[in-house]
Structure 1
Amino acid sequence: MVSYYDVPRPQAFPDSMAPKTLSPTEVRAIAETWAFKFEAAVTSSDAAAFEDLFAPEGYWRDMVAFTSDFRSIAKDNIRQVAADRLSVAKANSVAVATPAPILDSPFEDVSYIQAHFTFKTSIGGAVGIVKLIPSTTASDYVAYVLFTTLDSVEGVTERVGANRVRGMHNARESYDESRQAEIENPEPEVIIVGGGHNGLEVAARLKMMGVKSLVIDKYKRVGDNWRLRYKSLSLHDPVYSNHLAYMPFPTTWPIWTPSGKLANFIEYYADAMELNVWTESSVVTSETYFDSDQKQWFVTIDRNGKKYTYTVSHLVLATGIGGGHPKLPPPFPGQNIFTKQIVHSANHKNGGSWQGKNALVIGACTSAHDIALDFFQNGANTTMLQRSPTYIMSVKHGVSTVNPYKEGDDTWTVDLLGEATPKLVGRLWHKRFVPRIKELDKELLDGLANAGFQLYDGMEGCGFFLNTNERSGGYYYDTGCSPHIANGDIKIKKGEIDHFTVDTVVLKDGSVLKPDIVVFATGYTGFRDTVKEILGEEYSRNMKEFWGLDREGELRGTCRDCGVPNTYYVVGPLSGARFNSKITALQIVAEKKGLLGPRYTIEVQESGKYSKFTA
């Protein structure tokens, strides 16, 4: 018997869609009827009844609540998952929740009933979102997409709002004295490597769930990972999508946040959230190991030349989206005799020293565009060498089309909605967005094409969406550079470097450039190198494939089992950090309490021997 089916990626929305004439009362009644059937199926562990809740094109995305893993399960595989996991999850107490069910219609020919609900599992509280469409074989409604995710751990109350700590009157020590004592004597249960937004938000989530952590960072100040990058850097996502967990940015904040301003806020966040952070600190690789018998990490930290050793249950690596080290191509012939400056984009600070000189930027994605514009604005004669096509959309038209966050939104609700659609289904949304954005950006894109810039619609015609999830590159949100390429201010060359001479760069088409500085905006070596540097060769070898989508469209490795024992790797933008930090913290807390259990992965299901993996 086949236990797992590899299902082709969906290519179109279902033909059956909810009629737009439904009243709010009818919408709620349909949602409540489906929720009643869902509860009946899960409480009785009836796999067949659970499968019947879905349309033929249906998908079930579960994040930990039922599978203790991240799964996006196509209809053909749902019955097997239900048969194996419903009796383990023991879901119950299903209730339709706020926001109220609605009839949603993102496109003229696409409409469905969207409903939020809550329920309980053997691990803790959970939430769900379902998109319902009419059944083609009966008079009821079935799930086009079901999303379920763990939201709390049994016996653990998040210390926020009415559950916040009380504080005290008439303390014997000043606040500064007590905080300094906590920082110097942190007694961590979890060590977090990396003090950027991801690391700090995981620390904040753990603290609110009663777990002590210590964040270590190599830089001198919290926020230096943003503060010390090139001076012109600003965020390309609007401020209202980037709020930090528990602490939104002020309503006076600019929509497009300068990196230095963000750095200062992150430093303030660590202070205000009372997170224990050691800067100028690193893991001593040779004195750090996981004891498989005790299920504990023994971690030695070098803090300004002094060593400290801690025994902790978990590690979290939050060392940035690139992973590894700045990646330069293998040396080209003659590069060793080139007398001008060569740097990686990670080491570029600003273009102020290059006025009147020639700058060559290798690459044509986000960093390359930002750096090319920086050179141009500082008076350098700038050329960009494009080696492969790039997806371009303007911030003005593109971000407003694809970004689900709006000013004043409840970010957590939008976070959940963003996670609710499996990425393989989400492709269908972006295939619709791309032509719409292209039409709005037509003048800009025509200008780029006329200048010789190579454009494309992104992987599978999905714009930036698959590019970022599969390769974390290949696109640029235009924040000002593209018009300067279109009008010739910044020159564009296509092709590859053939060789260097003493003072020139010769391309494979025979073109000769004479730059005073060459900046390689060519990415990073990868996450495995980061693990090798921090934890050593053995753990690097055991690490699972990281980043890119697995067969079900889930990101490999991040915020889930990465192959390194009791270790979570958390990466991603600010807009994703609120959810990622919470789902990571919940898994750590559940594991510490012995509630998470074995993960029901694709490989476990595929083996057909699930009983061997049960606790």
Structure 2
Amino acid sequence: MNGHAQSETRFDVVIVGAGISGINAAYRLQDELPGYSYTIIEARDDLGGTWDLFKYPGIRSDSDLFTFGFSFNPWNQSNPIADGHLIKRYIGDTAKKYGIDKNIQYRHRLTNANWSSEDNYWSLNIDNDGTAKTINARFIIFGSGYYNYHEPLEATIPGLENFQGQVIHPQFWPEDLDYTGKKVVIIGSGATAITLLPNLAQKAERVTMVQRSPTYILSLPNRSGNWLLRWILPTKTYHKLQRMIWILQSRLFFLFCQGFPNFSRWILKRRASGQLPSHIPHNPHFQPRYNPWDQRLCVSPDGDFYTSLRRGKADVRTDTIKTVTKKGLTINSGETLDADIIITATGLKLQIAGGATISVDGQKINIGSKYMWNGVMLQDLPNASFIIGYTNASWTLGADATAQFVTRLLKSLETRKLIAATPRLKVQDAEKIQQRPLLNLNSTYVTVANQVLPLAADRGPWQARDHYLKDIKFATKGSLDDSMEYTQGPNVHLRAKIN
């Protein structure tokens, strides 16, 4: 435990998770509300979240670091796509630079959180290495991500139990795995598979990616082309401008793909076809059935994925699996693929709040039945915020919009002498709104998780998040009263109230 004595159990704000979202929220809190006490509880024994968990070869960002990084401590390298260990170091350096690391309590796993309407604070039950512990908070920020760290998404792969080689899920990659000279089959076609293939191909005898359906893969140069601006402008101005350029160009590209899907398909086809070796056709291996950005578009920095295919040590098969055998697998075309290692890159199992049970006055809240208020708070849940980023832009942009909203809300509560804020869905509104998915992707791992994710609607403050520029405007200037119920009371810091 860093920076706290064992008796330190009361805080104004508790942040769940010491990943990039939690560190960002901590900075906003201590910068905007320096008099408030806070702590970060982290289930693992180090910070970094995703970037501490995943250890598979080539793990990297699938968003540019100029927008995925912190706005207050910009990514200062020239490469927009970075390896996982560099991102983790960047997060750690940021936490140390701003003293955030002193407020992290490691090996503190939240098991359940209960809001008391009588006392107007949260009681958080913690598992601290097998020892039960309780922490109280006036406000809680769930920055624990959106997927299960302990269980991957289960995929039905017929006959997998027959395989006599190694079966590995990327989420639990053995750091000592030696795949040199081995035949590797990757099952899946998402960002993880597309990252793994070129990296495994450097040592493996052969790597084959078996996909049920293809995805769009866009090659981008992994370097910033704005060297002239960097030379001319002051460093701080340059980083702000660079960040805004990437925000705008990413947004415009998304809108272009959505507005002109056929033309976008043609452009992506042309770019992919020009990088494929002659023996691998574009159709069916790189021609998805969906339009660009109906699922997340995968990025290949410097075209490393296509380079591996051209070098002849990697290949792609688009088919369904008939059965897994002792020494490989057979696809429904009749072809048999030998394998020493099978990697099931079949997706993530989604969850909210790190799997913790959440209740109000002892009554459990079914998160999957509640609407998200402006993408930041949950219907009927007082003084709690959930950090949900974007599926079509950098996650951290959404995380920062949420953090800035929370600090503004806390300031408003104090100014107005209020003690709690709870989003409420009015009866008349409930009769009019229509449900919409919270995440605007039709990827399998998203659609199968709809029952555990909060709801969104077609109107009002219950609409799903759209884009950063709109959301940051709401975070800093939007209405705090629309469909929000407030509790009167002396808004004082929790520690002062209880002690």
Is the TM value for this pair above 0.5? Answer: yes
Q: Secondary structure, in 3 states, of the residue corresponding to 1:525? A: strand
Q: CA deviation at 1:257?
A: 2.3
Task: From the superposition, tell whether residues 230 and 352 of structure 1 become closer, same or farther in structure 2 (CA, over 3 Å).
Answer: same
Task: From the superposition, tell whether residues 525 and 257 of structure 1 become closer, same or farther in structure 2 (CA, over 3 Å).
Answer: closer
Q: Secondary structure, in 3 states, of the residue corresponding to 1:180? A: coil
The aligned counterpart of 1:410 is 241
Q: CA deviation at 1:518?
A: 0.9
The aligned counterpart of 1:519 is 343
The aligned counterpart of 2:172 is 347
Q: Is this contact kept in 2: 1:316–1:568, CA < 8 A? A: yes
Distance 1:567 1:455 in 2: 43
Task: From the superposition, tell whether residues 180 and 258 of structure 1 become closer, same or farther in structure 2 (CA, over 3 Å).
Answer: same
Distance 2:9 2:249 in 1: 35
The aligned counterpart of 1:94 is none
- Residue 111 (structure 2) pairs with residue 284 (structure 1): yes
The aligned counterpart of 2:400 is 578
Alignment deviations for residues 164-195 of structure 1 (CA, whole Å, 9 cap, x no partner): xxxxxxxxxxxxxxx83589837422222211
What is the one-letter code of the residue matched to 1:311? N
The aligned counterpart of 2:30 is 207
Task: From the superposition, tell whether residues 603 and 438 of structure 1 become closer, same or farther in structure 2 (CA, over 3 Å).
Answer: farther
Distance 1:518 1:188 in 2: 47
Identity of aligned pairs, percent?
A: 16
Distance 1:272 1:186 in 2: 25
The aligned counterpart of 1:226 is 51
Q: How does 1:503-582 map to 2 (within 5 A)?
A: 503-528=327-352, 531-533=354-356, 535=358, 539=364, 541-544=366-369, 558-561=375-378, 564-572=381-389, 573-582=395-404
Q: Secondary structure, in 3 states, of the residue corresponding to 2:349? A: coil
Alignment deviations for residues 241-288 of structure 1 (CA, whole Å, 9 cap, x no partner): 3331422233x5644322212212211222222221111221133xx4
Gaps of 5+ in 1: 1-178, 469-473, 547-554
Q: Is this contact kept in 2: 1:504–1:513, CA < 8 A? A: yes
Q: Is this contact kept in 1: 2:43–2:108, CA < 8 A? A: yes
Distance 1:239 1:343 in 2: 29
The aligned counterpart of 2:87 is 262
Q: TM-score, normalised by structure 1?
A: 0.56
- Which of 44, 61, 67 matches 1:241? 67
Alignment deviations for residues 394-445 of structure 1 (CA, whole Å, 9 cap, x no partner): 1239999xxxx99644367569868999x88983377766655554554026
Q: Is this contact kept in 2: 1:342–1:519, CA < 8 A? A: yes
Distance 1:225 1:345 in 2: 12
- Larger of the two Rg values belongs to structure: 1
Alignment deviations for residues 547-577 of structure 1 (CA, whole Å, 9 cap, x no partner): xxxxxxxx99853326655432214324544
Alignment deviations for residues 277-311 of structure 1 (CA, whole Å, 9 cap, x no partner): 111221133xx422244442211223344443222
Alignment deviations for residues 521-562 of structure 1 (CA, whole Å, 9 cap, x no partner): 11122125x55445489756333479xxxxxxxx99853326
Q: Does 1 or 2 have the higher relative contact order (CA < 8 Å, sep 6+)?
A: 2
Q: TM-score, normalised by structure 2?
A: 0.68
Task: From the superposition, tell whether residues 358 and 587 of structure 1 become closer, same or farther in structure 2 (CA, over 3 Å).
Answer: farther
What is the one-letter code of the residue matched to 2:295? N
- Which of 474, 480, 483 matches 2:307? 483
- Residue 233 (structure 2) pairs with residue 393 (structure 1): no
Task: From the superposition, tell whether residues 343 and 448 of structure 1 become closer, same or farther in structure 2 (CA, over 3 Å).
Answer: same
Q: How does 1:102-251 map to 2 (within 5 A)?
A: 180=3, 185=8, 187-210=10-33, 211-223=36-48, 225-228=50-53, 229-250=55-76
Gaps of 5+ in 2: 231-236, 390-394, 434-459, 461-480, 486-499
Distance 2:298 2:305 in 1: 13
Q: CA deviation at 1:386?
A: 0.8
Alignment deviations for residues 452-482 of structure 1 (CA, whole Å, 9 cap, x no partner): 65224674x3x23x323xxxxx644454112
